[in-house]
Structure 1
Amino acid sequence: MAGPDFDAELKALDSTLRSIETVLDLDRLRKEIAELSEQAAAPNLWDDQANAQRITSRLSGRQADLDRVTSLRSRLDDLGVLVELAEAENDAATLAEAERELTDVRRSIEALEVRTLLSGDYDAREALVTIRAGAGGVDAADFADMLMRMYLRWAERHKYSSEVYDTSYAEEAGIKSATFAVKAPYAYGTLSVEQGTHRLVRISPFDNQGRRQTSFAGVEVVPVVEQSDDVDIPEDELRIDVYRSSGPGGQGVNTTDSAVRITHLPTGVVVACQNERSQLQNRATAMGILKAKLLVLRQAEEQAKIDDLRGNVTSSWGDQMRSYVLHPYQMVKDLRTEQETGNPQAVFDGEIDDFIEAGIRWRRTHASQ
């Protein structure tokens, strides 16, 4: 590669990386890492395991983001120096090394740029993926199993933690459905572009006559809902009534106004407690029950939002997003982005980053239209 080409490439990559650094706001990122590190160092951190996991996971993700962009900046700067030295000495071997590094750095910066496009309300969340066999009988069940393995291998390649929550096996082969989590920052934003109907064309290994079979599987991706352990309830939203306890309870329980009934006015939720002798104890217990009930309501509201995001995956011809062809030729093609490859085996082994990145860019382009 000639010097001017190197110059143009390096300037373009430097501009892209500067844009990424601006979007990520490195000063803010470093400040957030410092705050999270301080929280993670608290001696009582693991007294609340859910909160501890949230803090440590967020810290790990933010630190990885910072390390990734600072490493790329260092590599890009070093590459510029390497090119200068190679061109000054007319060193063909070093220029070839610089060209290889340029290709690798370009690929890494493009991948990081895609991350900056994930700015939706739920994009930073972990992901829950459900795969269901569609039309195509046993071939569809086998295809669903192949897709599940593909995504788990993809997570493994990126060192993302995953956990299979439920698997319903088909009678002859494959799976009817499966649900698993990918526990990594931005897993939802990344994998959400995989949602839709996937189509497989191949010679069926389950057909004695060796006929070609078309089968379908549906992929559904939803964000993991983050819960708060504390529910703040303003006093003006509560009506608190005290009354005399009734029924069994031992000496004294029925002789004082110790029972407490709390009504949450905005929702109409009513809770009561009368099993403690102290009104204060009953009130504290009733408030705990009320918070639990309101948390359930919040979960239901969040689930309604998730259902809106979920859409309708019917696993048939109508909403195909990707086609996997193993016969009469070898090709995997995304029907939205036109991204394709002639190596289906690599795709089924988890090499789907090119498809995901193209999908994210496609989504951003179409969202702005």
Structure 2
Amino acid sequence: MAGPDFDTEIKQLQATMRTIEQVLDVDAMKQEIADLGEQVAAPDLWDDQENATRVTGRLSDLQGQMERFESLQSRIEDVEVLVELGQEEGDEESLGEAERELGRISRAVESLEIRTLLSGEYDAREALVTIRSGAGGVDAADFAEMLMRMYTRWAEQHKYGVEVYDTSYAEEAGLKSATFAIRAPYAYGTLSVEGGTHRLVRISPFDNQGRRQTSFAAVEVVPVLEQTDEIEVPEEEIRVDVYRSGGPGGQSVNTTDSAVRLTHIPTGTVVSCQNEKSQLQNKASAMVVLKAKLLALKKAEERAELDALRGDATSSWGDQMRNYVLNPYQLVKDLRTGYEVGNPTAVFNGEIDDFIEAGIRWRAGAEKVDA
């Protein structure tokens, strides 16, 4: 790589980092870290466990963001020095290492830049994901289970916690539906671009004639709420049904009527939880899910009203969003962004970061057009 190319790339990275610094408001972050540090040092912090968990979690997230930002700044400065020395001494080995390091830094800066695009009201929250099988019979149920594995593998790769609230198994194979939480800061903002209809095309393993089958599954992503969120659900608006938990194996949860199904009568929203042993625990978990979905419904209605005022006749951007083709060729393609890869196996094993980043950039561009 010639000298001017090094200079140009380094200047571009420095300019991007200045933009990121402004968007993150680094000075404000440092002040908040200091304030939270004082709260964490207080001897009575854990008298209120819920507040303590919130404070320590927020502090850890901010410290992680700051460390990531400062580390990238330092790496850019170091590579700039390496380039100068290599050019002065004609050291091709040093210039080769600088070229490789610039590539690594560029990818890291792009990833950090994506985080700055997550500035929505609930983007910093944890995510609640629901997957439902659609048209396609047993293949669709199997596809729903493949998608659940894809997202849980993605979470594992990033060391994010996963908490399963409910799984409804199909009779022959796969899942009718599943609801689970991804426990990580910004999980909602990150995964919200995955919401919509997913389509699978393959030779059906359940068809003894080996015919190609198209099946569908729906993915819904909503933010996990905090107690400060204003969502009041009067008891008279909720119908509570209890039943015996179901699932493979002989877990102890299957031996009592501990599973809970909640129906919000005004909207018809139904949620269930069966993964705890106690009926009270399942009801509490189901209420978390119900409130999150009612908030998402409220936001969707507000968005629909705005779209109607704008005269927006198009469907929402999350509908029919990705194709997974296993036959007659191998391809996974996002229909909104155009991003595609020819390795479906890797995608189903959780390698979806590039799809997510493309989706976040696409959404940010669409929001600018709408503004």
**TM-score class, shorter:** 0.7 to 0.9
Aligned to 1:191: 191
Aligned length: 296
Equivalent residue, structure 1, for 2:135? 135
1:295-306 aligned at under 5 Å gives the runs 304-306=294-296
After superposition, the CA RMSD in angstroms is 2.1
Query: 2:113 aligned with 1:123, yes or no?
Result: no
Change (3 A) 1:302 1:175: closer
Determine if the alignment matches structure 1 residue 30 to structure 2 residue 30. yes
**Partner residue in 2 for 1:160:** 160
Counterpart amino acid of residue 39 in structure 2: Q
Match of 1:47 in 2: 47
Instruction: Identify the residue that residue 172 of structure 1 maps to in structure 2.
Output: 172
For 2:86 and 2:350, locate their aligned partners in 1 and report how far apart those are by CA, in whole Å: 37
Matched residue, 2:224: 224
Structure 2 residue identity aligned to 1:319: D
Residue identity opposite 1:351 in structure 2? E
What amino acid is the match of 1:329?
Answer: Y
Moved over 3 A (4+): 299-305, 308-312
Partner residue in 2 for 1:307: 297
1:208 aligns with 2:208: yes
Q: CA deviation at 1:301?
A: 8.4
Q: Is the 8 A contact 1:221 1:310 kept in 2?
A: no
Unaligned runs of 5+ in 1: 231-298, 313-317
Q: Give the whole-Å Cα distance in 1 for the aligned partners of 2:143 and 2:95.
A: 45
On the 8 A contact 2:224/2:292 being kept in 1, the answer is: no
Residue 319 of structure 1 deviates from its aligned partner by 2.8
| 1:111 Cα offset (Å) | 0.9
3-state SS, counterpart of residue 109 of structure 2? helix
Task: State the AA in 2 paired with 1:12.
Answer: Q
Q: Structure 2 counterpart of 1:96, which letter?
A: G
Contact 2:199 2:216 in 1 (8 A): yes
Equivalent residue, structure 2, for 1:57: 57
User: In the alignment, is the contact (CA less than 8 A) between 1:129 and 1:179 conserved in 2?
Assistant: yes
Give deviations 1:103-127, integer Å, cap 9, x for gaps.
1110110111111111111111111
**Which secondary structure state, in structure 1, belongs to the residue aligned with residue 168 of structure 2?**
strand
Counterpart in the other structure of 2:20: 20
Letter in 2 for 1:183: R
2:60 partner letter: S
Determine if contact 1:222/1:310 at 8 Å carries over to the other structure: no
Structure number with bigger Rg? 1
1:148 aligns with 2:148: yes
Aligned to 1:251: none
Q: Is residue 56 of structure 2 the alignment partner of residue 66 of structure 1?
A: no
Give the CA deviation at 1:350.
Answer: 1.1
User: 2-side partners of 1:55 and 1:123: how far apart?
Assistant: 18
The more displaced of 171-180 and 299-308 is 299-308
After superposition, what is the alpha-carbon deviation per residue over 1:297-339, rounded to whole angstroms, capped at 9, x for unaligned? xx99876432134689xxxxx9310001111111110000001
Residue 366 (structure 1) aligned with residue 356 (structure 2):
no
- Distance change >3 Å, CA 148–CA 302, structure 1 → 2: closer
- 2:338 equivalent to 1:338: yes
Structure-1 separation of matches of 2:33 and 2:24: 13
Q: CA deviation at 1:226?
A: 1.1
Secondary structure at the aligned position of 1:128 is classed as strand
Which residue identity is paired with 1:308? K
Q: Specify the SS of the correspondent of 1:98.
A: helix
| Shift in Å, 1:78 | 0.8
2:139 is aligned with what amino acid? Answer: D
Identity within the alignment, %: 69
Q: For residue 83 of structure 1, what is the aligned residue in structure 2?
A: 83
Aligned to 2:215, what secondary structure does the other structure show? strand
Distance 1:71 1:132, change over 3 A: same
Match of 1:92 in 2: 92
What CA distance in whole angstroms lies between the structure 1 residues aligned with 2:350 and 2:10? 31
SS at the partner of 1:319? Answer: coil
Q: Output one character per residue of 1:196-255: Cα deviation in whole Å (capped at 9) or x when no partner.
A: 00011111111111111111110000001111399xxxxxxxxxxxxxxxxxxxxxxxxx
Inter-partner Cα distance in structure 2 for 1:68 and 1:41: 24
**CA spacing shift, 1:319–1:82, aligned 2, 3 Å:** same
Task: State the Cα distance separating 1:162 from its structure 2 match.
Answer: 1.6
Once residues 179 and 345 of structure 2 are traced to their aligned partners in structure 1, the CA distance between those partners, rounded to angstroms, is 23
Offset at 1:173? Answer: 1.3
SS of the residue 2:221 aligns to: strand
Q: 1:114 to 1:82 in 2, by over 3 A?
A: same
Residues 309 and 354 (structure 1), Cα distance of their counterparts in 2 relative to 1, 3 Å cut:
farther
Instruction: Work out the CA distance in 2 between the residues paired with 1:32 and 1:18.
Output: 20
